[in-house]
Each structure stands twice: as C-alpha cells, then as structure tokens.
Amino acid sequence: MINLKKTSCAVALSLLLGVSNLALAFDFPFLSQSNDEANAASNAAQETESNNSWTSTAQEIILHALSQTGVKYKYGGITPDSGFDCSGFVRYVFKEAANLTLPHGARAMSQVGQNVTETELQPGDLVFFNTMKSVYSHVGIYVGNNRFIHSPSTGSSVSVADMNDSYWSKRFTGARRVDAKELASTELNKPTK
C-alpha cells in the first residue's frame, strides 16, 4: 500500500525544488593503477558514497518535515500531538527521519555540525534567525530554492517560508550542516550524571 502522505510530500518536494531526472556517474579505477592512485580513487569513492548517503538522509529529513506541515505551534512542544516550537520540530524531524539526536534549543543546535554560508546551503541544513533579539533564537530546515520549513510562532503551524522574504532575509544569522559522526562523538563524550 502506498503511503499517500509521503508520496504527496515527495511530489511537493520535487515541485518545490524543481527536481528533474538525476543521474550519477561512477568512475571505476583500472587494475593497473599504482597504490597511490588506487587509494585516491578509493577515498573519492568513499566520499561520493558518503555524500550520496547524506543526500538520501537529507531527502528523508525533508520529506518527514513536510509531512508535519500544519502541526500547530506550541511553546516547548516536541511532538506532532502536542505541537512544536521551532527547535522541538527540528529535533523531532532529525530523530524520526535520520535517527540523529540534536541538542535542545536553537542556540545549542547552532553549535553542532559545520558552518555553511548562505550560498553553500543544501537541503537538510539547519538555518538560524534572530527573531527575539538573540542571534540564534529561531531554527528551521533548509529545503532548497531559498526556502525553509519551520514551526514559526504562536497562532501558526509548521510551514515553508521564503528566505528572500524581507522579514527572514534581514534576520538570517547563519546555517549549519549536521555531521552524523560529530553528533555521535558528542553524545559519547557527554558527561554522565
């Protein structure tokens, strides 16, 4: 049985991002390569595999985020049943779609992963805004084409917003790309109570 909500999210995502047919090409190393060339080819293949893995994970994150569209905002909310605040929404989506546990709060999330510029944004990146006179007071998930999905504020619900909108463009404060390996090592190094 086809999951209609997930299928409609996939269609919406492809329309939103203008996705067309994608093709990947792989270069197979020749058997006569030297060890250095073979190692370089192996490293490049692993990097491509890692990038493809993140692309797949990012797609799951975005599809899961889009499936939460319409869930009401609730300060401190962390589930679709109770409602979401901005960081509760992002944390829930990353946990459900990618099995990644992000820290609580937009400020804490701004400390994980690697910094990326606005021109380097890729779907699945975290985007941060100054909405309460604090540099990292709001967080959302970048979906592509200068759009992000978030749980905005009281009286609203999870929705997609345009980063070019004057409200968001003047409040953008940065973006982070979450690294699953970094999150795992952070979790391992947490002090126990």
β-strand pairing of 126-129 with 172-177 = antiparallel
Active site residue 138: yes
Active site residue 86: yes
Tokens read off for 156: 């609203």
Active site residue 104: no
Q: How far apart are the first and last CA of the chain?
A: 45
By three-state DSSP, how is residue 168 classified? Answer: helix
- Of 9, 64, 104, 138, which residue is the catalytic one? 138
Contact 124, 63 (CB under 8 A): no
- The DSSP element (H or E) to which 141 belongs, if any, is strand 138-144
- Of 9, 64, 86, 104, which residue is the catalytic one? 86
- Residue 94 CA to residue 180 CA, distance in Å, equals 10
Q: Based on the number of CB atoms within 10 Å of its own CB, is 15 exposed (0-12), middle (13-18) or buried (19 or more)?
A: exposed
Query: Would you please indicate which residues are annotated as catalytic (active-site) residues?
Result: 86, 138, 150
